[in-house]
Amino acid sequence: MPASPAAPGSTALGEPRSEAGRRRAGRPVGGVLDKAGITAAALELIEKKGYVGLTMAALARSLNVAPSALYNHMESKRDVLLLVEDHLAALVDVSAFGSEPWEEAVRKWAWSYRDVFSRHTPLIPVIAVLPVTDAPQTLAMYETVSVGFRDAGIPEERIVSSIVALESFIFGSAYDVTAPADIFDSGSMAEATPSFTGAVRSLAAQGHERPADVAFSLGLEALIAGLGALRE
Amino acid sequence: MPASPAAPGSTALGEPRSEAGRRRAGRPVGGVLDKAGITAAALELIEKKGYVGLTMAALARSLNVAPSALYNHMESKRDVLLLVEDHLAALVDVSAFGSEPWEEAVRKWAWSYRDVFSRHTPLIPVIAVLPVTDAPQTLAMYETVSVGFRDAGIPEERIVSSIVALESFIFGSAYDVTAPADIFDSGSMAEATPSFTGAVRSLAAQGHERPADVAFSLGLEALIAGLGALRE
DNA sequence: CCACTAAATGAATGCCATTCATTTATGAGA
DNA sequence: TCTCATAAATGAATGGCATTCATTTAGTGG
């Protein structure tokens, strides 16, 4: 017989019932507070402590709950990451599709997409392999983008490949944003790599504030031009 | 007084001395067996058990050594990953630079780069933020590519940004290769996302063996064309 | 009022990277 | 040949982690 449990009123989860349970018992709807609450707590934790601080124990603590309680609502930590990912997908700006020329819409989408995930790079390995079924907001983003591509005249068989190509570039570029400024400092090997060292110096001499932005712009414009050329 | 140690002859490390120690004592050179041995063992472990199986304990075991012994040679597990990364960089095919037209050289380099790292995606977050000083083989690759870009007439200030743009695309694409085949199956949300679902079906109808290759080719050719257009 | 069940609990479990005081073994110099 | 310095190996911690499980709590429909 374990020790007496915490006061029941002290728990904060608003809608602590599984889908199945809710359906069977016909509860007062909701369904939001549960996943929404976990997502909000996870996001706050990530903001304050970063992804290193996002542990099941810390998450439970910030929800005033025992770690094991989380497993009544999620199968694993991966599910928490999925929740966060899907929330972020809704922050990506797809508004220009339908209201602006395709090139401009892609540009805004891509910059926004990269900016959102550059602050959440630990999610990238998760997203990249994530079946879209598990992430409704992400799927909604794909739908909007897809309509935009179709309306712009991209042949239907190429739409998915084009999106994937852009997304791959975006994910890779999100990492760049977080790279240290001196990442290309060749140090003691400088004499052995004159061409590369010269190129690094030459870029540095331009004095760009965010070198990652230059590379991103360069690649993005090339992709937009190249993919746009395939329109009918 | 701890128990008696293992028989000394049973350890396998060939050159167990730090740089400093070797320098000071003027040992018979070598220096290879240490890092090379660890790298080889790590690679074998990764091949057999994947990155989940690459633990310090497992690595030590495959070297017939106690886990703590590894810390006489490496600061942390990250150093092991670095060693592996740098070894892989040497496998990337840069041979076409200097012997073939720029476009073709970039193509071969990019495909080879993607293929190598698609089997080592857990390293991508490490590489993306890795100061090149710590990875001589990686730096050597950059040098070769850089010379190729310069000889092709890419303006010096743009060389690094062009390489970064390509690399970002390559890293992102490496993840794609590992994605499950049904990643874009919209499942029960299909009716809600007609355009995307149609695009997915349309791509599937083409019957490509490896859809990731289609997207990679599409993006890569766009990048080559776009970056190539900036040559002087 | 009872039976059912979702949800919460805390105490494991097992894995992990990393640290540390201690011991072993080897080469250099006397 | 002996001695000393030191690199390297050892095993026993440490602390953190995700996850599991038997048990208890509390709310709902009958």
Mean pLDDT, residues A92-121 taken together? 98
> Per-domain residue ranges for chain B?
11-74, 89-228
- pLDDT classification of B18: cutoffs 50, 70, 90: very low
Question: Using CA atoms, how far apart are residues B164 and A199, in angstroms rounded to an integer?
Answer: 12
Sign for the pseudo-dihedral over CA of B29, B35, B38, B40: negative
Judged against a pLDDT cut of 90, whether residue A59 lies above it is answered with yes
Average pLDDT on B117-142 reads 95
Segment B174-220, tens digit of pLDDT: 999 999 999 999 988 999 999 999 999 999 999 999 999 999 999 99
In this prediction, residues B48-69 reach a mean pLDDT of: 96
Fold of the CATH domain A8-74: Arc Repressor Mutant, subunit A (1.10.10)
Collect all residues with Cβ–Cβ distance below 8 Å to A134 and sequence separation of at least 6: A82, A86
For residue A34, what pLDDT is reported? 84
Structural class in CATH, domain B11-74: mainly alpha
pLDDT digit string (tens) for B85-126? 999 999 999 999 999 999 999 999 999 999 999 999 999 999
Comparing A190 with B18, the larger pLDDT belongs to A190
Cβ separation B182–A131 shorter than 8 A: yes
pLDDT of residue A7: 33
Distance CA B110, CA B170 (A): 7
CB distance from B227 to chain A under 8 Å? Answer: yes
State the Cα–Cα distance between residues B220 and B112, nearest whole angstrom: 12
A159 closest CB neighbour out of B132, B199, B205: B199
Which pLDDT score, from 0 to 100, does residue B188 have? 87
pLDDT of A23 reads 33
Distance A3 CA to D24 C1' (A): 9
Instruction: Please list, in sequence order, all residues whose beta carbon lies within 8 angstroms of the beta carbon of residue B54, skipping any fewer than 6 positions away.
Output: B42, B45, B46, B80
pLDDT at A17: 39
A179–B128 C-beta distance less than 8 A: yes
Closest partner residue to A219 (CB to CB) among B156, B214, B223 is B223
CATH topology of domain A89-228: Tetracycline Repressor; domain 2 (1.10.357)
Structural tokens at position A1: 């017989």
Tokens of A46: 């990530």
Residues 42-81 of chain B with CB under 7 A from strand C are 53-58, 67-68, 71, 76-78
* The pLDDT of residue A93 is above 50: yes
Q: Would B11-74 and B89-228 be classified into the same CATH topology?
A: no
Q: In this predicted structure, what is the pLDDT of residue A15? A: 42
Distance A194 CA to D20 C1' (A): 57
A21-25, A93-97, A170-174, B47-51, range with the lowest pLDDT: A21-25
Distance from residue B101 (CA) to nucleotide D17 (C1'), in Å? 52
Average pLDDT over residues B13-36: 40
Distance in Å, alpha carbon of B157 to nearest chain A alpha carbon: 5
Find tokens 């706050």 and name the residue: A44
If one compares B159 and B21, the residue with the highest pLDDT of the two is: B159
Give residue A134's pLDDT band: very low, low, confident or very high (50, 70, 90): confident
B179 touches chain A (CB under 8 A): yes
Q: Which of A13-17, A84-88, A152-156, A196-200 has the lowest mean pLDDT?
A: A13-17
Share of chain A above pLDDT 90, in %: 83
The closest CB to that of A223, out of B133, B182, B222, belongs to B222
